[in-house]
Chains A and B, each alone.
Chain A
Amino acid sequence: MSKEVRIKDIGKPSKQLIKLRLEDLMKLPPPYDKPGEEPEMTEPKEEWREKYITELDGYIAIDVPFEKPKTKEEEQRLIQRFLEGLKKLLDKENNWTFLQPLLLSLEFCAKCQTCNDACPIYLSSGKKEIYRPTYRSEVLRRIWKRYLTPAGKVFGKFVSGDIELNWYTIARLAELAYRCTLCRRCTQVCPIGVDNGLIAHEIRKLFSQEMGVAPKALHELGTVQHLRVGSSTALTPEGFKDIIEFIEDDIKERTGKNIKIPVDEKGADILLIHNAGEYLSWPENPAAFAIIFEEAGISWTLSSELVGYDAVNYGVWYDDVQLARIARKHVEVARKLDVNRIVVGECGHAHKALCVVADRVLADEYNIPRESCMPILWDIVRKKKLNLDPEKNNFPVTLHDPCNMVRLMGVVEPQRKILREICPQFREMEPHGVYNYCCGGGSGFAIMTSMNFPEWRNKVATRMKFKQILTAFQDCIDPSIKKYVCAPCSNCKGAIRDMLDHYQATMKCGIYYGGLVELMVNAMVDIEEPFIEMF
């Protein structure tokens, strides 16, 4: 069998390496099994082609100009810069953060392809070669072998395989690093433990840390804005305080409860940090947290200090230096407030960034415990600190497992224990728990909305999740039955919101989405009006 795209083709001078077609993509369950049920795919605009990298698949993740060199010398300079970056990835001081895992993954892949069918992107795309988990890894591996190892320099192609390093290779590799959600499902099945997700992560770092090239949503409007303004949503401390007031009023209106949300209260047990996206897009989520924590008598506070009210850390997706800076800021805020621990709200990547990955960039007084909100919430339900009536949640509910919280952090059971307790029609998706599929918004995709990237996300990256959701609700797929996808993560919610919108699944299938705490408040006996609105 011959395939259209070979590994060496990454360096082939051509307009576009592949073109996705609707009919090639993975089939969806009813009612999407008939033609015409989902939007067609579009062509990239011609003007984009001049400025951005459309040479991979026509989609643009890197929405900053990546100019084509005009002369051979310019191209050589680019190649040199790229190789410099690659050397730094393999250097102890510059990349102690991931040197060992990276080298292991570069050196020991057995090319057995066991990992392929674990990848939702590869499967959803209809097994397009460039999305095979090993494709981008093999490109980087070949460049490393050929240009930076003695064996490659002496024996050339015989040990490295065929690869040419030119503008096309580098530009396409930069885009290709953003066709993987870093979900690491492939790593779970690899017999050697090789990590293709990590390799994508390291390629992103090379471009960001060496060349300053990263999607705007992650860097300029992401980590940079976060550190400068206080939040990657551009929410300022003043804006934050206004929203808190608004949320207090809203709670009063919807529930009749007078709740004063604690902000900047020194000496509390817990500093709770939400993804600031919640305040702007889903304020009912921080509201529900406030209702629950107050009702349960938890000693907690929010922070209004710069960075302290936004738990996100986009650095974890593309830049270790930015990761360290934001994590450090988070703990600085907690230190000033003299809390015992930081607790992260419903945000998966913030969970992993602050509790797991950044655990090793903190030391001395800047190291304080960082934990998930899930065990606290379960504790509240288990100890019956709230008066809950499951009948109030008597509609079909399924749970999406955020990769960062579950596969990459091991917080699996508390959230489902809560759902089993308070949602009589709770059903699992398959597969679930640590074997879940990514929502498709992972690694920054949920917030990357430039040009045609959302189309790629909706068509390819979230397709598997959409299939899972439809399958979980097949017995009640009629739109007149309202159903709820519980996604305890802001980014996942963002991706699911866009997915439902793209496929018009709320209208066609009656599928709604939201967080976990909303379901808890919705079940509270003393709140008369439904807290969750599905209409």
Chain B
Amino acid sequence: MLTPLQISSYLAFAIFVVVVVWKFVKYATMPIHLRWELYPVPHEPEHEHGGSFFEHQNIWQLERKHDKLNELKEMFEEMLFIKRMFQNKRDLWYVSWPFHAGVYLILVWLALLFIRAVLVIAGVHSLVPIADALIMIAGAIGVIAATLGCLGLLIKRVGSWELREYSAGVEIFNLLFVLAVLLTGLFAWIKFDPNFNIAKEYMLSLVSFGSQPMPELPKPILVHLILLELLFIYIPFTKIAHYVGKYYTFHTVLWEDAINKPGSEVERKVKRCLQFRVSWSAPHIAGRTWAEEAANPKLDVIERWKP
């Protein structure tokens, strides 16, 4: 029999997944945009000097090669180490990187708790001690690094003029919220669950859909868990989910350099967009489709907005 707490855990996770997927879909289904890449583009074979296929002649006949490995390298350096911030804003990186790395480790910790539960249910007991050891390492380093990083981020956000001035209240609130979850987690771990046994049992009860008993949760753990669930629900609606944006800015804008060749997929999409109607109000635009506007310019009136 599932308890309300367990049901809320499923729900929080489900909402998280659904909204994140919806966000991905929202961006994935937007129309193709004009090319707006920015060099160096890491999949270009000449990425060392930031070169592109335009360094060659007869680009339509050119056999395009993509250095996928380098693209992955660049992606992981940015994801795992926040390379651009390391190179250009070191003072902030000193707190931002531990925070992000800590969060990654906490996600690994969650995944390990899940895997461990699956192992237990599947009866693969020989691997459980390895999972236990990894859970200990990921959980301990993760929560400490993330908490320190989050504290540092908060201090920077409030203490530095250029960060505070550009932040709305919600951005400070987000940090406070995450910090609350981390601090309650840290406290719960040190005081009540140093070996993550309660966490493991709770995960086991979730993975087994209640057929394994739910552990007794001391109050501080309960508070932490509820806060964590709320955070899971909250994240996808906020900018904390900037990983979605980061995927698209790099992959569909800055590194997106597909040529519009006749008969290509790009051309098919472009043709569809050219049939969209333009309803901008300036007098040089006549309210026709993009294709018509391009073919027959209307330039007889030059008139500006007047009060």
Interface residues of A (CB under 8 A from B): 1-3, 6-7, 64-70, 74-75, 77-78, 81, 84-85, 88, 92-94, 96-101, 103-105, 107-108, 110-118, 132, 134, 138, 142, 145, 155, 157-161, 184, 187-195, 198, 208-213, 219-220, 224, 227-228, 320-322, 324-325, 327-328, 341, 355-364, 367, 369, 371-372, 374-376, 379, 406-414, 433-435
A-B CB proximity, top 6 nearest: A410-B52, A193-B249, A108-B245, A434-B50, A211-B305, A161-B168
- Chain B contacts for A157, CB-based, 8 A: 168-169
Distance in angstroms between the alpha carbons of A467 and B152 in the assembled complex: 37
- Chain B contacts for A357, CB-based, 8 A: 34-36
Q: Is the CB of A187 within 8 A of B267?
A: no
Q: Is the CB of B283 within 8 A of A212?
A: yes
The one of A6, A77, A81, A413 in contact with B55, judged by C-beta atoms closer than 8 angstroms, is: A413
The one of B30, B246, B270 in contact with A193, judged by C-beta atoms closer than 8 angstroms, is: B246
In the assembled complex, the CB of B114 is this many whole angstroms from the nearest CB of chain A, namely 28
Beyond A70-B307, A134-B166, A359-B260, 4 additional pairs, beta carbon < 8 A: A96-B31, A117-B88, A191-B84, A321-B293
Q: Is the CB of A211 within 8 A of B304?
A: yes
Q: Is the CB of B305 within 8 A of A213?
A: yes
Closest to B295 in A: A328
* Cβ-based interface call for B123 (8 A): no
In the assembled complex, the CB of B42 is this many whole angstroms from the nearest CB of chain A, namely 12
Q: Is the CB of A97 within 8 A of B284?
A: no
- Chain B contacts for A189, CB-based, 8 A: 84, 87-88
* Cβ-based interface call for B121 (8 A): no
In the assembled complex, the CB of A453 is this many whole angstroms from the nearest CB of chain B, namely 18
Q: Is the CB of A410 within 8 A of B54?
A: yes
Proximity bits, B26-60, A CB within 8 Å = 1, else 0: 01001111111111110010100111111111111
Q: Is the CB of B87 within 8 A of A104?
A: no
Chain A binder among B2-10, B138-146, B274-282: B274-282
Distance in angstroms between the alpha carbons of A220 and B169 in the assembled complex: 43
Known contacts: A96-B31, A213-B304. The answer to whether A111 contacts B166 by CB under 8 A is yes
Q: Is the CB of B249 within 8 A of A220?
A: no
Distance in angstroms between the alpha carbons of A109 and B244 in the assembled complex: 12
Q: Is the CB of B254 within 8 A of A193?
A: yes
Q: Is the CB of B162 within 8 A of A113?
A: yes
- Chain A contacts for B55, CB-based, 8 A: 372, 374-375, 410-414
Closest to A325 in B: B297
Distance in angstroms between the alpha carbons of A44 and B168 in the assembled complex: 35
Known contacts: A101-B253, A212-B283. The answer to whether A360 contacts B270 by CB under 8 A is yes
Q: Using a CB-CB cutoff of 8 Å, which residues 159-184 of chain B contact chain A?
A: 161-163, 165-171, 173
Interface residues of B (CB under 8 A from A): 27, 30-41, 44, 46, 49-60, 78, 82-85, 87-89, 92, 96, 161-163, 165-171, 173, 239, 242, 244-246, 248-250, 252-254, 259-262, 266-267, 270-271, 273-274, 276-285, 290, 293-295, 297, 299, 302-307
Among A103, A198, A369, A374, find the residue whose CB has the most chain B CB atoms closer than 10 A: A369
- Chain A contacts for B51, CB-based, 8 A: 410-413
Distance in angstroms between the alpha carbons of A82 and B115 in the assembled complex: 54
Distance in angstroms between the alpha carbons of A101 and B255 in the assembled complex: 12
In the assembled complex, the CB of A292 is this many whole angstroms from the nearest CB of chain B, namely 15
Q: Is the CB of B284 within 8 A of A108?
A: no
- Chain A contacts for B262, CB-based, 8 A: 364, 367
Contact sample, A vs B, 10 pairs, CB 8 Å cutoff: A2-B161, A66-B305, A142-B168, A155-B170, A160-B168, A194-B245, A213-B305, A407-B38, A410-B53, A413-B49
Q: Is the CB of A111 within 8 A of B78?
A: no
Distance in angstroms between the alpha carbons of A325 and B298 in the assembled complex: 10
Q: Is the CB of A410 within 8 A of B50?
A: yes
The one of A105, A208, A356, A409 in contact with B282, judged by C-beta atoms closer than 8 angstroms, is: A208
Among B41, B53, B245, find the residue whose CB has the most chain A CB atoms closer than 10 A: B245
Q: Is the CB of B49 within 8 A of A412?
A: yes
Q: Is the CB of B39 within 8 A of A406?
A: yes
Q: Is the CB of A138 within 8 A of B166?
A: yes
Q: Is the CB of B299 within 8 A of A100?
A: no
- Chain B contacts for A138, CB-based, 8 A: 166
- Chain B contacts for A160, CB-based, 8 A: 168
Known contacts: A93-B279, A161-B167, A410-B54. The answer to whether A359 contacts B35 by CB under 8 A is yes
- Chain B contacts for A355, CB-based, 8 A: 54
Q: Is the CB of B169 within 8 A of A159?
A: yes
In the assembled complex, the CB of B77 is this many whole angstroms from the nearest CB of chain A, namely 11
The one of B27, B165, B281 in contact with A7, judged by C-beta atoms closer than 8 angstroms, is: B165
- Chain A contacts for B169, CB-based, 8 A: 157-159, 161
The one of A78, A111, A145, A379 in contact with B57, judged by C-beta atoms closer than 8 angstroms, is: A379
Distance in angstroms between the alpha carbons of A188 and B248 in the assembled complex: 15
Distance in angstroms between the alpha carbons of A358 and B242 in the assembled complex: 29
Among A105, A159, A193, find the residue whose CB has the most chain B CB atoms closer than 10 A: A193
Q: Is the CB of A112 within 8 A of B89?
A: yes
Q: Is the CB of B260 within 8 A of A412?
A: no
Closest to A98 in B: B33
Q: Is the CB of B40 within 8 A of A434?
A: yes
Q: Is the CB of B89 within 8 A of A108?
A: no
Q: Is the CB of B285 within 8 A of A104?
A: no
Closest to A142 in B: B168
The one of A3, A93, A211 in contact with B278, judged by C-beta atoms closer than 8 angstroms, is: A93
Known contacts: A88-B280, A158-B170. The answer to whether A409 contacts B39 by CB under 8 A is yes
Q: Is the CB of B278 within 8 A of A69?
A: no
Q: Is the CB of A192 within 8 A of B280?
A: no
Distance in angstroms between the alpha carbons of A371 and B59 in the assembled complex: 7
Among A67, A112, A114, find the residue whose CB has the most chain B CB atoms closer than 10 A: A112
- Chain A contacts for B244, CB-based, 8 A: 108
Distance in angstroms between the alpha carbons of A77 and B165 in the assembled complex: 30
Distance in angstroms between the alpha carbons of A434 and B283 in the assembled complex: 38
Distance in angstroms between the alpha carbons of A435 and B48 in the assembled complex: 12
- Chain A contacts for B302, CB-based, 8 A: 212, 219-220, 224
Q: Is the CB of B254 within 8 A of A356?
A: no
Q: Is the CB of B276 within 8 A of A211?
A: no
- Chain B contacts for A64, CB-based, 8 A: 304
Distance in angstroms between the alpha carbons of A198 and B35 in the assembled complex: 12
Distance in angstroms between the alpha carbons of A353 and B170 in the assembled complex: 39
Distance in angstroms between the alpha carbons of A369 and B62 in the assembled complex: 12
Distance in angstroms between the alpha carbons of A262 and B2 in the assembled complex: 84
Q: Is the CB of B304 within 8 A of A96?
A: no
Q: Is the CB of A433 within 8 A of B33?
A: no
Closest to A356 in B: B35
Closest to A187 in B: B38
In the assembled complex, the CB of B96 is this many whole angstroms from the nearest CB of chain A, namely 7
The one of A6, A96, A112, A155 in contact with B163, judged by C-beta atoms closer than 8 angstroms, is: A112
In the assembled complex, the CB of B265 is this many whole angstroms from the nearest CB of chain A, namely 12
Among B162, B163, B282, find the residue whose CB has the most chain A CB atoms closer than 10 A: B282
Closest to B157 in A: A111
Closest to A378 in B: B55
Q: Is the CB of A322 within 8 A of B31?
A: no
In the assembled complex, the CB of B60 is this many whole angstroms from the nearest CB of chain A, namely 5
In the assembled complex, the CB of A475 is this many whole angstroms from the nearest CB of chain B, namely 25
In the assembled complex, the CB of B266 is this many whole angstroms from the nearest CB of chain A, namely 7
- Chain B contacts for A99, CB-based, 8 A: 30-31, 33
In the assembled complex, the CB of B41 is this many whole angstroms from the nearest CB of chain A, namely 7
Q: Is the CB of A7 within 8 A of B34?
A: no
Q: Is the CB of B280 within 8 A of A209?
A: yes
- Chain B contacts for A114, CB-based, 8 A: 84-85, 88-89, 92
Known contacts: A158-B170, A361-B294. The answer to whether A321 contacts B84 by CB under 8 A is no
Q: Is the CB of A118 within 8 A of B88?
A: yes
Q: Is the CB of A100 within 8 A of B30?
A: yes
Q: Is the CB of B82 within 8 A of A372?
A: no
- Chain A contacts for B163, CB-based, 8 A: 111-113
